[in-house]
Amino acid sequence: MAQPQLKRSTAPTTPRRGLALYFALPILSWAFYDFANTIFSSNIVTIFFPFYLQEAVGGNEQMNQIASTMITYTNALVSVFLVLLSPLFGVWIDRTGKKKAYLVPFTLISILATALMGVSAMWQTDAELFGLSAPLAGVLVAFMFAKFFFNSSLVFYDPMISDIGTKQELPLISGFGVALGYCGTLIGLVVYPFVEKNHSYQAFLPSAALFLLFCLPMFLLYKDQPAKQVQERKSFFSGYQEIRETFREARAHRGIFLFMIAYFFFNDAIATAISVMAVYAKAVVGFTTGQFVLLYLVSTVSSIIGSFVFGHITKRVGAKKALLYVAAILLVALAMAALAFNQTMLWICGSLYGMAMGATWVTSRTLIVELTPAEKRGQFFGLFAFSGKVSSIVGPALYGTITLLLAEHGNLASRVAIGSLGILVLIGLAVHMRMPYQRTQE
């Protein structure tokens, strides 16, 4: 009866190559979840939710800044709850060994909330909630639920990568997942031709449907790891004690903790720019909705290229050095965005930013696996999410506060706010360069 002890991972013991790697059923079904959830992050978080707020709140330079503030503050509020709970989700993984068992219901709630955004936006009423029109308030609340459960599902999704590949394969698998995810962006944008001018809410319901459709390979085909035998029953909130213990191990895991600090600042810039780029391009640089969608497509193609290229770069030079290259590209992109006085500059900026964004997820996930002990990996992925979620409070709050305080100055407020993100990247670089790192050859 000792057989179950051998089932520590579904990953093979020898590396696979070419199509044998990418078309292995666990890897393909895992990667398709990246495809599916990117439809939500692109269609809802990046494009149509910001456009909806600009249509509902904006109208001139000053009110466009208020719309930007609402976007960033809403994202920041979601991140407050993610900060409180995401580390505990990582503890769930380490206690039970279950990932898919939690990922599926979290994803379904996110899909339902996305659909409710569309239903609320179509609500014809003069009622008010929280001082806002009831449809607008309903969309904001539904968005917060959708994004909370979307981001929470990723705490269970990301650690799955260590179950489906060897350490030699991880950079390629990670790159494949991210690249397929950005292909999901392209598919998600098939809803755009059916969205009428100044009716961005019409994208909410079909985006929810596409999100569900492409989650089915994960739901139906991916097999979770055998559940651990739980030796001791503990309350959910007792997990905070385990989190505190993990922080006390900082000296033994100095590299991962320094990386989480650096990632805090990198993600500050990335997450904030993602949430405001639609309104920024339209309000500050004068893009039309159609032009922005095309810009986003170009950025997505750059992300696909960046994720594949940096999968190989990471394998060649190591995750630490690869992330330094990514940060340098991100700095150039943010500087060009802040100084973009014509559309050509933003086209270049969008391509560079897309490449940096795709490459960041590839290098970061690989680095987490390389720096963490296997028995603590779920907990460290929870702390990784914790670092990212705290930064997702600070970055949007910083951006939103700048646009709110400088709203009377119009578009200058947005330029100052986007430029401030470059300072955060520089701080992250300074910390990242101090991180001890030794490549494993397993």
- Per DSSP, helices labelled H in 339-410 are 343-371, 377-405
Asked whether residue 442 carries a pLDDT value surpassing 50, the answer given is no
Q: Is 37 exposed, middle or buried (0-12, 13-18, 19+ CB in 10 A)?
A: buried
Task: Answer yes or no: is pLDDT of 39 > 90.
Answer: yes
pLDDT value, residue 334: 93
Domains within the chain, CATH numbers bracketed: 27-225+247-432 (1.20.1250.20)
Per-residue pLDDT tens digits for 65-90: 777 888 888 988 998 888 888 777 87
β-strands 128-129, 132-133: how paired? antiparallel
- Rounded average pLDDT over 198-203: 92
Place of tokens 């992250």: 428
CA atoms within 13 A of residue 219's CA, in its CB half-sphere = 13
**Lowest mean pLDDT: which of 80-89, 218-227, 245-254, 406-415?**
245-254
pLDDT in tens, 209-231: 999 999 999 999 888 766 555 55
Helix (H, G, I), strand (E, B) or coil at 196: coil
> Are 356 and 369 a contacting pair, CB within 8 Å?
no
The pLDDT of residue 261 is: 86
What element of type H or E holds 133? strand 132-133
pLDDT at 131 over 80: no
Residue 242: what pLDDT? 67
Q: How confident is the model at residue 117 (pLDDT cuts 50, 70, 90)?
A: very high
Q: Which residues, including other chains, have CB under 8 Å from residue 224's CB and lie 6 or more apart?
A: 97, 98, 99, 100, 101
| 16 phi, psi to nearest 5 deg | -100, 160
3-state secondary structure of 101: helix
pLDDT over 50 at 4, yes or no: no
Cα–Cα dist 403/68, whole Å: 7
Spatial neighbors of 301 by CB under 8 A, at least 6 apart, are 182, 354
Beta-carbon count within 10 A of 19 CB: 8
Q: Band of the pLDDT at 441, cuts 50, 70, 90?
A: very low
Q: Indicate the Cα dihedral angle 80, 81, 85, 87, nearest 10°.
A: -20
What average pLDDT does this structure show over 116-132? Answer: 86
Q: What is the reported pLDDT for 1?
A: 35
**237, pLDDT greater than 60:** yes
Q: Quick one: pLDDT at residue 251?
A: 62
**CA-CA distance, 363 to 303, in Å (whole number)?**
13
pLDDT given at position 255: 83
Does residue 234 surpass a pLDDT of 70? no
Burial of 67 (0-12, 13-18, 19+ CB in 10 A): buried
* Upper half-sphere CA count for residue 192 (Cβ side, 13 Å): 20
**What's residue 347's pLDDT?**
93
pLDDT over 90 (residue 437): no
What residue type is assigned to position 161 of the chain? Answer: I
Per-residue pLDDT for 18 more than 70? no
pLDDT of residue 95: 75
CB atoms within 10 A of CB 22: 17
pLDDT mean over 118-128: 88
The predicted pLDDT at position 235 comes to 62
Spatial distance between the Cα atoms of 179 and 359, rounded to a whole number of angstroms: 10
Instruction: Name residue 178's amino acid.
Output: V
pLDDT of residue 5: 37
**What pLDDT score does 23 carry?**
66
Residue 139 is predicted with a pLDDT of 94
Mean pLDDT, rounded, for 106-129: 92
Give the residue among 252, 274, 240 at the shortest CA–CA distance from 383.
Answer: 240
Q: Among the ranges 87-91, 138-142, 247-251, 390-394, which has the highest mean pLDDT value?
A: 138-142
- State yes or no: pLDDT of 48 exceeds 90: yes
Q: What is the pLDDT of residue 6?
A: 35
Residue 304 has pLDDT above 60, yes or no: yes
Mean pLDDT of the chain: 82
pLDDT of residue 9: 45
What percent of the chain has pLDDT above 70? 86
Q: What is the pLDDT of residue 238?
A: 63
